[in-house]
Amino acid sequence: MSNQSGQELEGKVAIITGGGGFIGRAITLAYLEAGADVVICGRRQPSEAIAANGKQAYFIAADIRDPQQSQQVIDATLERYKRLDILVNNAGGTPGVDAATAPAALTEKIIALNLTAPLVMSQQAYQAMQKSQSEGAIVNIASVAGARPAPGTMAYGAAKAGLLSATKSLAMEWGPQVRVNGIIVGLVNNPAAAEHYGGEEGYRNIAAMLPLGRMAEPQDIADAVLYLSSKQSAYVSGATLEVDGGGEVPVFLHLAKS
């Protein structure tokens, strides 16, 4: 982002759910570097403080699947900073689970974390943005699992697809005061990536299949999130930004060449 965008976020207050996690940390640092005050929440406190640009993210312990705890995050933010401008619904995830044998309780937990919690927290944030009379921005972090078949992640994919649909509905209902946008995150490089994709060779082969020749880095996601909450995207709402390196090339094309 440009220095101009950083100046635009001076005095802004952002909440980032799961802001201490792998991608969440990159988003948190991007906002701090852009001059915003940042509140992060999660069930576990980060092992070390997240700080940049002379600012430190303020951590609040909360399980956002509980509406009372997510409201407490909103209330604590207003008490500390007197306003709320940005919400990034970043917290999410799923274990791999077979659709035929997935316990109902696990399915409910996955949907609660990846769909219900972001919707409820968006409602709570919207009310806070109205009180502080700020021109707000909400960014929902979705996944390619919500846009194409994803074996082993049935509930997760359904939840993320629902979040993308809700993004457009909320943008239509809450404009012009609050803009709501979504990001479809593609394959992201992380410390466990090589193991997840069958070792270093498997990781390299999959990365090479992507049009840009690599998986995303957390900073790639953070830059996109920052754009969607800056004045540079002032006329962007209800949009879905695909941060996936150009998409996944159909496997049959590679098989046909082998």
pLDDT at position 171 is: 98
> Which residue, among 83, 167, 166, 165, has the nearest Cα to 131 in the 3D structure?
83
What is the CATH classification number for the domain harbouring 135? 3.40.50.720
pLDDT at 195: 66
Nearest to 139 by CA among 10, 239, 2: 239
pTM exceeds cut of 0.85: yes
How many domains in the chain? 1
Is residue 83 a part of any domain in this protein? yes
Which residue is catalytic, options 81, 126, 156, 227?
156
pLDDT of residue 194: 61
Q: What is the pLDDT along the chain (258 residues), one digit of tens a residue?
A: 444 444 679 999 999 999 999 999 999 999 999 999 999 999 999 989 999 999 999 999 999 999 999 999 999 999 999 999 999 999 999 988 999 999 999 999 999 999 999 999 999 999 999 987 878 999 999 999 899 888 889 999 999 999 999 999 999 999 999 999 999 998 888 876 666 666 777 778 888 888 898 889 999 999 999 999 999 999 999 999 999 988 876 655 555 565
| H/E segment holding residue 3 | helix 3-8
The boundaries of the domain holding residue 84 are: 3-193+217-247
**Has residue 253 been placed in a domain?**
no
Q: Please list the alpha-helical segments (H only) found in 65-210.
A: 67-81, 104-111, 117-132, 154-174, 193-196, 200-209
Let me know if 197 is a catalytic residue: no
Residue 47 lies in a domain: yes
* CA-based nearest residue to 183, from 204, 206, 167: 167
Side chain identity at residue 209, one-letter code: M
| Per-residue pLDDT, 253 | 56
Domain annotation covers residue 207:
no
Buried b (16+ CB within 10 A) or exposed e, 39-62: bbbbeeebeeebeeeeeebbbbeb
Instruction: Please report the pLDDT score of residue 199 as a whole number.
Output: 73
Check residue 252 and give its pLDDT.
54
Size (the chain), residues: 258
Instruction: Judge whether 187 lies within some domain.
Output: yes
Asked whether residue 45 is domain-assigned, the answer is yes
- Does residue 208 lie within any of the structural domains? no
- Note the pLDDT of residue 211: 86
User: Does 119 fall in a domain?
Assistant: yes
